[in-house]
Structure 1
Amino acid sequence: MNITKFSITLCAVVGTLFFAQAQQASVVGQGYYNEPDFGKFYLRLGANFLNDDFVKQLNDGDLNGAYSVATGLNFEIGKYFFFHSEPIADLFKVGLDASFLSLGYNPLKWNDPDDPEYTEKTDFTTVGVKLGPVISFNPLENFYADAFVKLAPTILTSMSEMEDLEQVLFGLKSDVGINLRYKKVTLTAGYESGAFNYTSYDSDYDEDTGEYIEHTTKEKFPMGMFQIKLGLQFY
């Protein structure tokens, strides 16, 4: 799908340029980065777990329908930008958490109800960016706990040809979670919520004219997702 390749390439280019520019900038009020927690650039890789509402939507309200969703993968690159050099009460700092590129991949399988031995495999792929506030606590030496809330403009598409997804969908999602880090190693848990705008098409046969009349309906395609990630955090 050409639009998928174009979207991923565009996000990667924008993210790379953003990161390169950010690396040249100093921390607000500082001419240098503080080693423990300033200006941390991160790479994270983990697993996606789609919620039941998503599966029900695919199966028209039936959780045990033809579609089944396996555990997926996610990849994220981003950076922290703190607003002040000294911690408040020697405990925490406030800043922004910017994910320049967030990729998600979830394989799907469709089982033919009339032929249990026949299956089709496809996927849902998401490409987005995320931005929002982060509060970083430092209760122990070299140990940090970050709480974040981010807006996540995201597109939903498929790397394979999927009959039920004939268009690229857009949604403004949110991402809420925590990040635990010890030195450069991180463990992140978060929940993405939101829905994608979707136009469905249907048609009725008009016996008077002998033609099919097409109807369009604006719908929401919910996609809640729990994510857990391991990563590295460095300059």
Structure 2
Amino acid sequence: MKLKNLLLLVLLMANMQLYAQERSVFRKGYLRLGLNQLGSDLSPNLTPRENIFDGRFGAGTGYVLEQGHIYYFKKNATLINYGLDWTIISLNYNKMDEWENYAMAAGAPNAYVDGTKIAAAASTKLGPVISFNPLEKLVVDLRFQIAPTVRFFDFNYSDGDENTGNDRYFSFTNNAQDDFDGESVKNRIAFGVATNFGITLRRQAIGLSLDYVSGKVNSNYEAYDSKAGNTFGKQKIPAHNLQLKLSFTL
């Protein structure tokens, strides 16, 4: 009986060792959670319209959550592997909460910010990846992805005195057209296609990821200032993201 149990234990340990040997360092599934920086800093020398059109959203540091899978082409690779990296869902969120400081720096009286000041996005990202295993269980992933992106902005800014003609206004809605409900969710959604360059440095399951997402979204807007007058319609607005994330590889 003892001999039988001993043989069973030996077989179990042998199976566990075989599994450990077969488990590749090039793990496939991942979950990433971290910080997101949207756009550039506001410039008090630019109008609200010029700031937004230049990709200056006045957004503080936000958050990003991603889940995805790497489809490797080589099954028994040891040093280098390559394949497709599909970030199935990428969600990010920022608060556009720096406009009060912009108004003070610009010397703008009666500044008023309306809305929840939310800047949020959802995207899926797909593209090639190459992974290196330079030593032990350390792996470096380099990726390039195309990212169709949907964005949502809830933000209105105004300042100045309309009686003197020095007032300024910007909104991600468009109420200037007849029979057009710019406040509806449908008309507050912006869409675009971005590119993503990223790197992940990981050991076994834990690592760090750095990604830079660059692209434009086509958004409704309405604005007024003394330089451009009253403008409205659709505008392709730069929306660049820098993301630093903890990576959990399954």
Rounded Cα–Cα distance in structure 2 between residues aligned with 1:70 and 1:79? 29
Secondary structure in structure 2 of the residue aligned to 1:61: helix
Q: Does 1:140 align with 2:135?
A: yes
Following superposition, the deviation at residue 220 of structure 1 comes to 1.1
Matched, 1:162 2:169: no
2:244 to 208, 220, 228: 228
Deviation at 1:198, TM superposition (A): 2.5
Structure with higher Rg: it is: 2
Structure 1: distance between partners of 2:57 and 2:129: 37
Gaps of 5+ in 2: 1-21, 157-170, 174-187, 225-229
Q: Distance in 2 between matches of 1:179 and 1:193?
A: 18
Deviation track 1:144-200 (CA, whole Å, cap 9, x = no partner) reads 000000011110004xx4342232000101110110110100200010000001344
In the TM superposition, what is the alpha-carbon distance from 1:67 to its structure 2 partner? 6.3
CA shift at 1:39, angstroms? 5.2
CA 58–146 in structure 1, closer or farther in 2 if over 3 Å, else same: farther
SS at match of 2:85: strand
Q: 1:50 to 1:94 in 2, by over 3 A?
A: same
C-alpha contact (below 8 Å) 1:39/1:79 kept by paired residues: no
Alignment of 1:1-235 (within 5 A): 35-38=23-26, 40-52=28-40, 55=42, 59-62=48-51, 68-87=58-77, 90-109=78-97, 110-111=99-100, 113-115=108-110, 120=114, 122-158=117-153, 161-163=154-156, 164-166=171-173, 167-200=188-221, 217-234=233-250
**Percent identity of the aligned residues?**
32
Residues 91-119 of structure 1 deviation map (CA, whole Å, 9 limit, x = unaligned): 21011111111000010123253147x65
Question: Is residue 59–residue 67 contact of structure 1 (8 Å, CA) maintained in 2?
Answer: no
What letter is aligned with 1:101?
I
Cα distance 1:58–1:71, how it changes in 2: closer, same or farther (>3 A)? farther
The secondary structure found in structure 2 opposite 1:52 is coil
> How many residues are treated as equivalent by the alignment?
184
- Asked whether the equivalents of residues 180 and 188 of structure 1 are also in contact (C-alpha less than 8 Å), the reply is yes
SS of 2:49 mapped into structure 1? coil
Q: What letter matches 2:142 in structure 1?
A: A
Uncovered stretches (5+) of structure 1, i.e. residues with no partner: 1-33, 204-213
TM-score of the two chains, using structure 1 as the length reference: 0.69
C-alpha contact (below 8 Å) 1:38/1:81 kept by paired residues: no
In 2: Cα distance, 1:199 partner to 1:156 partner: 11
Which residue type is aligned with residue 187 of structure 1?
L
Contact 2:200-2:210 at 8 Å conserved across structures? yes
